[in-house]
Amino acid sequence: MPIIVNLDVMMAKRKMSLNELSEKVELTLSNLSILKTGKAKAIRFSTLEAICRALNCQPADILEYVEKNER
């Protein structure tokens, strides 16, 4: 998939664990884990907003578009 999820990178930059982020955005660990590993097929804007607020970042810090032949 040409959309890369860099949630783990932003979490590391902010020194935040998956448990802590889960509590702040009120999502289950399993749902955040699916997003973090890039296995999610979609994300709600409200979820993206909550993650950006918790990590003090922009959506582009978490989601990246990469052409298939660039990987």
C-alpha atoms less than 13 angstroms from C-alpha of 58 in its C-beta half-sphere: 3
15 in a domain, yes or no?
yes
Domain holding 54, by residue range, is 3-64
Q: For residue range 7-39, list pLDDT tens digits in order.
A: 999 999 999 999 999 999 999 999 999 999 989
Residue 23 resides in a domain: yes
Could you give the CA distance from residue 49 to residue 45 in angstroms, rounded to a whole number? 6
The reply to whether the predicted model has a pTM over 0.95 is no
Q: What is the pLDDT of residues 49-60, one digit of tens each?
A: 999 999 999 999
Radius of gyration of the chain (CA): 12
DSSP state of 27: -
Domain holding 41: CATH number?
A: 1.10.260.40
Q: Beta partners for 63?
A: 5
